[in-house]
Amino acid sequence: MTLSLPQAARPLQGCVTLPGDKSLAHRVALFAALADGDSTIRNYPDSGVTRAMRSALETLGVPSRLESSVLTLTGNGMRPFPCSGVVAHCGNSGTTIRLLAGALAATRSSAVLDGSAGLRKRPMDRIADPLRLMGAAVATVEGHAPITISPAPLHGIEYTLPVASAQVKSCLELAALGADAPVTLHEPGPSRDHTARMLRAMGATVVSNGLTETVHPVTSLKPLDGTLPGDISSAAFLLAAAAIVPGSRVTVADVGLNPTRTGVLDILSAMGARISTENAHMEFGEPVGDVTLETAPLHGVEIAGDLVVRSIDEFPALAAVAAFAEGETVVREAKELRYKETDRIAAIVAQLGVLGAEVSELPDGFTVRGGTLKGGTARANGDHRLAMSMAICGLRAPVSVEGAEILNESFPDFEPLLSSLM
């Protein structure tokens, strides 16, 4: 599928609501499976990556039902999953395979976790090594999927993560629920805290002190009932689109505003966009609100440190904005981008380069000089976020994106929602 957005003839205007946050969607489905009782989750997104978790859970013997964006699921509790020794396919979802590994270890279940060719390239020793320190029986294939997990008693440990990673931390937090003593985790920098917030909402004891977190074992978890906030990672592409079209004013309502995820808002603001939030409230222990972006002259910035972790999934969108900002934008300390669905550093540089932008690759990031993009035909390279970032460039230059069907993996409503603002 080739996607070509029409160049914007007028400012983007309007208010939209988005499907539920994908990071939270993975968690509510899995955590509901570990709960005792029936869970009901509204605004649940139906896309390739969220289907991966639900499909894997069904293979493990915990089916769910999704009707009109309402997910219902009867939990199995902190017991071994009903289906033993099965191969659960995780698609292309790193969150699915890493979080499931922790849940399988915690419940002393037996299964093999596998996935797509792309998922098999992603590093899995970063979860396997600390799980083994806890006593888990975990085998990988040269540090990659498939991952084989066998029943084994888990012990409390104190562990320092080599890198700040929400997926690794969440895997170990889940495993800690089934250990014989508390597990204390130290991070080198901040990462998403969705798992800790949701586990607390379900009755678990999770004590956070700066970059240190201690998770206590549980015998049961309360079921979930609530509405997922809109996905800030999806909102980022609509806000980025508004940022590059002069005169635009766009609101995304009821979007998740977890401070570990709002780096993209801080960066867009630093680049000159006017951003405001209203209607603050909480869901599943997560802050939620309405975000409005008004266009203003944009300029390049330098991005590094904690901002990188707080916006790690939004760099494709930010790179597109940088292509239309005055001056140079420099991204450093973002080597983790090389281990996403693609090597996102190389992919961003290659595809913006195809469109005529002046870009260069750094070992741990990239640079973009604004005002140089001319247009052309880019390729999604199997990366849904890259597809969206190249597509929004088409609002300012003639751009086509090949392989855009990958959008169905994460944001199938991207084009119609963006079109509603034009």
Q: How far apart are CA 89 and CA 215, in angstroms?
A: 28
Q: Give the DSSP H or E segment for 40.
A: strand 38-42
Helix (H) or strand (E) holding 393: helix 384-393
For this structure, is 313 an active site residue? yes
Active-site pick, 114, 254, 290, 313: 313
Sign of CA dihedral 378, 381, 387, 389: negative
Please give the Cα distance from 296 to 271 (Å, whole number). 9
Maximal CA-CA distance, the chain: 62
- Six token digits for residue 337: 């981008």
Q: Please tell me whether residue 6 adopts helix, strand or coil conformation.
A: coil
DSSP states along 219-248: S-----EEEPPB-HHHHHHHHHHHHHSTT-
- Rounded Cα gap, residues 349 and 381, in angstroms: 13
Measured between alpha carbons, how far is residue 137 from residues 112, 159, 220, 252, 320 in Å? 12, 18, 23, 44, 44
3-state class (DSSP) for residue 280: strand
Distance CA 66, CA 63 (A): 10
Dig out the tokens for 358 from the structure: 């002046």
Q: Rounded to whole angstroms, how far apart are CA atoms 172 and 238?
A: 33
Pairing mode, strands 13-17 and 249-256: parallel
- Which residues are annotated as catalytic? 313
